[in-house]
Amino acid sequence: MSNPEDRIKELEEQVSGLLKWKAAMVETVFAQFEGLQEEIDKLSQAGASALPYEADENGHVIINDDSQRNIARRAALEVSAYPDGLTPVVRCDEQNCAAAEHLDLVSVGEARKFNAERVSNELASLNRGEVQFAIDCLTTPVGDGHRVPSDSSKYRLPSGRQISLLRATAWAFSRSTEVPGRVKRTCGRGDCVEYRHLTTA
For residue 201, what pLDDT is reported? 73
Residue 35 CB neighbours (<10 A): 10
For residue 50, what pLDDT is reported? 46
Separation between Cα atoms, residue 185 and residue 189, nearest integer Å: 7
Domain endpoint, select from 65, 83, 110: 110
For residue 32, what pLDDT is reported? 80
In the three-class reduction of DSSP (H, G, I as helix; E, B as strand; rest coil), residue 154 is classed as strand
For residue 110, what pLDDT is reported? 95
Q: Which regions of the chain are under pLDDT 50? A: 50
Tell me, yes or no, whether 130 and 195 share the same domain.
Answer: yes
For residue 2, what pLDDT is reported? 60
For residue 38, what pLDDT is reported? 74
Residues 6+ apart with CB under 8 A from 109: none
Tell me, yes or no, whether 138 and 162 share the same domain.
Answer: yes
For residue 102, what pLDDT is reported? 93
Q: For the chain, how many structural domains are there in total?
A: 3
Kindly state whether residue 119 falls inside one of the protein's structural domains.
Answer: no
- 79, with CB counted inside 10 A (0-12, 13-18, 19+), is middle
For residue 139, what pLDDT is reported? 95
DSSP state of 102: G
Separation between Cα atoms, residue 35 and residue 29, nearest integer Å: 10
Tell me, yes or no, whether 105 and 137 share the same domain.
Answer: no
Separation between Cα atoms, residue 158 and residue 152, nearest integer Å: 16
Q: How confident is the prediction for the chain on average, in pLDDT?
A: 86
Tell me, yes or no, whether 137 and 188 share the same domain.
Answer: yes
Q: Which domain holds residue 59?
A: 52-110
Separation between Cα atoms, residue 93 and residue 60, nearest integer Å: 9
In the three-class reduction of DSSP (H, G, I as helix; E, B as strand; rest coil), residue 105 is classed as strand
pLDDT digits 0-9 by tens, 35-88? 777 766 665 555 555 456 778 888 899 998 888 898 889 888 888 888 889 999
Kindly state whether residue 118 falls inside one of the protein's structural domains.
Answer: no
Residues 6+ apart with CB under 8 A from 115: 89, 161
Tell me, yes or no, whether 59 and 40 share the same domain.
Answer: no
Tell me, yes or no, whether 6 and 68 share the same domain.
Answer: no
